[in-house]
Every structure is written in C-alpha cells, then in structure tokens.
Amino acid sequence: MDLLFTLLATIVALGLLVTIHEYGHFWVARRCGVKVLRFSIGFGPALYSWHDRQGTEYVIAGIPLGGYVKMLDERESPVPEQELDQAFNRKSVKQRIAIVAAGPLANFLLAILAFWIIAVLGITTVAPVTGPVEPGSIAERAGMREGLEILEIDGTATPTWHEVNLQLIRRLGETGQLQLLAREGEGGAPQSYTLQLQSWLRGAEQPDPVAALGLTSWKPAVPPLIGQISPDGAAAAAGLQAGDLIVAIDGEPVSDWLVDVVPAIQASAGQTLELTVEREGGIRTLALTPAAREQDGRLIGFIGAGIEAFEWPEHMMRSISHNPLTAIPVAVMKTWDMTALTLDSLKKMVTGLVSAKNLSGPITIAKVAGASAKSGVESFLGFIAYLSISLGVLNLLPIPVLDGGHLVYYVAEWIRGKPLSERIQGWGLQIGLTMIVGVMLFAIYNDISRLGS
C-alpha cells in the first residue's frame, strides 16, 4: 500500500511539473503563430490521445518521466508551402527565444503559486529553540546555550527549523563568520552570536548542518509510554504491549523516551536489555533484544515500537499566515531565494565544496514525494515548489539538449545575425547528451547507494 501511494504521489508531482513546463512552450508557441503538432505528457506508447480543432494531438504516454511539444519545423520533416509561415524555424530569433524560455519560466510561476497557497493557508510549526549544546562545538564556542530561539541567520528571518536548515545550507563548504540572532524566551532581548566556520562540512555526504554546529532542537519531556507495537518487531517478541510505561532499563531508572530510552536502545543492537515496565498498576520485567540496522556507517538498535502521541507546549508553537495580497511578495521572494540557493549549490558541487553524492535521482524524488504527500497539503505543495524550481534551473543551464542550450544557440544567432553551423550544433548536441546521461546515471547510482545504506 505504501509503495502504491508513493508511486501515485510521484506520478502526480512529475505529471504536474511536466505538464506546466510543456504548456509554457505550447502557450507561447501558439501566440507566436507556430503550429503545434503534438503535446505529449510522458514518453513511449500512447495510453490516450485526442485532437483539437487546430490539429494538435494531445497524448498521455506510458512512461511518466518527461514530456515534449512537437512543433512544425522544416528541419524535422517537409512542410507544405501554405504552412511555412507556421514553422518554428521560420519565426524570428526573438520569438524562438521566447518559446524556449517559456517552459522554465512556467516552472518558476508554478513555484510562486505553490508558495502563495502555502502562505495563504498558513502553517503552525514548532519554534526553532535550541536544546542541549554540544560541549566544545562551534555553537558552544560562540556562547550559545540551551533555550535560545533562533530569529535570524546572516540577516534572514528563520521562523522555523526548516528555514534554519536552508540558511545554514547556504554556507556549506565555506570559511568565515556566520551571524546568528537569538533570544531567550518570548520576551528576551535579541542577542547576536558570531560562529566561526572553517571549510565547514566541505565535501560532506548528506550533511546535517544543525548538528554540525553542535546544536539540537529543544524537545519537551516525553514519558516512555508505549503507544504502538509492530507485530513483527523486537518489542512484540519481548512481550511489550501498548500502554506499558518503561520505568527502568538494566536497573537504571528512566523517565524520558528521547533522552533515556532511545539512546539506550540504539546503543544496544543485538544485545539483551532488561526492561522494567509498569502495566495495569503492576511491575513486570522483560528481556528485550533490539534488532540491528546500519545508519550512517554504524549499527544501531531498533525495537519496532512507538510512543503515545504528545502535545508541544503552546508557547513553543508559531502560526505563520498571510492574506492573499501580502502573500504575493512572500511567494516571489521565496522562489527567488530558492532559485539562488539551487544555483549556489550547483556551483559548490562543481567546485567540490559540496559533495556530488548529494545529487538525487528519481528514486529519492519518489521517496520524498510519498513522504511529503503523507505529511499534508503544505508539505506536498512545498515539495512541488522546490522540485519545480530545480527543473526550471536545470533546464536553463547552457547545455545543448536542454532549453538553456537552445537559448545559447539563439542568442548567438541574434548577435551574429546568422545561426551557428550545423556541425557546431551537432557537436554540442552530442556533448550535451553525454553530459545529461552521465549526470542521470550518477544520480541513480547515488539513489541506489542510499537504499543500500
């Protein structure tokens, strides 16, 4: 069932992104007088197709990993003389630039729309308040301590932990000072902290920027009261039941699930623990042997059990929303910031400041699509926006085969007054195709490596 849900979420996400992208090309082409022969969502054999009054064939194909708009073009097939004025290659260079650029532009507009909807719907989130600070860490040397709410990083507001992570990701691989503004309690005066970075997380695979600074997120005390049991897990095999309260592990009293129980279980993969539990007013002793799995290159224990749901204190919650008018600049700025972050990350990946192993392919996209869809409308819309921005940026890269490569050719034609030779364009096509295939294979390899770990 989970696999089916993930596949459905992936198809919906990719289908929407591809449709919007190709519709951008289609819409501008029609307004420039170009005859569109086919508008296809997906590749391969057609599952369903129909024609409109202007003769355009609309196709839904069997492989939902892309799409295309096929236009009338003398370079692809002979064009009847009476339709020559509708051929793409007969249009002015400015019109061809507009048609090619419209696809990526449509992706950015989709991201703005998604961020606008999120801003209008509003979110309720946990404030980015620090938990225990790791001794000797970057944060601790800067004077940071537990209980600080992070307000800004490098002058940008950070109302959520998500925003904190995004601002920290901007500094990956860098050397210099990171400026952080924080306050203690809701009424505390904001105080500035200067954190010193030295080739920070340069080349790290799957970096955790918050932890790398020595920071943790504050969490309320969570009683170790069992709420859910996996029927085939170690907890069920040991006899744990929903409603059990763990009061001791190996004779040591425990009172907090996150602070006491989780670390003990994770550190005891394959080792038997003696659990003292309170059940229906009585005390019982159970022998529990956590199963082992690999995470970040080390074995950790897990038992297949979850705790009863708990609520965060009201003073730790933040509600963020905008009216339809004020949400517009918020959405535009968010799209702009994410576009800049994507370009900066690509540059750092090329220069080696960020590991190329962070590049993701279709498997990771599918997993994130499924997880975000399960988390709610806001999460799924956010995923759509980020992916749409990535698709827009990727297509604008000056690589032949992509829209950006075609734009380079047309701009060169505009400057020279004549197109580049067929030989040069052919070489570019081969180089671009090789680069794209190589990057895709590397991204898929990264996906498979993550699955293996």
- Bridge partners of 450, per DSSP, are none
Q: Is 395 exposed, middle or buried (0-12, 13-18, 19+ CB in 10 A)?
A: buried
Structure tokens at 292: 């082992």
Write 185-190 long-range contacts (CB < 8 A, 24+): 185/147, 185/149, 186/149, 186/315, 188/149, 190/151
DSSP string over 219-230: ------BEEEE-
- CA angle at 239 for the pair 234 and 245, rounded to the nearest 5°: 100
CA 69, 75, 79, 83 dihedral sign is positive
Question: Residues 22, 149, 152, 378: which is the catalytic one?
Answer: 22
CA distance 37 to 46: 15
- Whole-number Cα distances in Å, 292 to 233, 239, 247, 250: 11, 19, 23, 19
Those residues whose C-beta lies under 8 Å from the C-beta of residue 422, and which sit 6 or more positions away, are none
Contact by Cβ (8 Å): 119, 331:
yes
CA distances from 318 to 283, 411, 422 (A): 40, 48, 59
3-state secondary structure of 108: helix
Q: Would you call 278 a catalytic residue per the annotation?
A: no
Closest CA to 227 of 217, 215, 235, 219: 235
* Residues with catalytic roles: 22
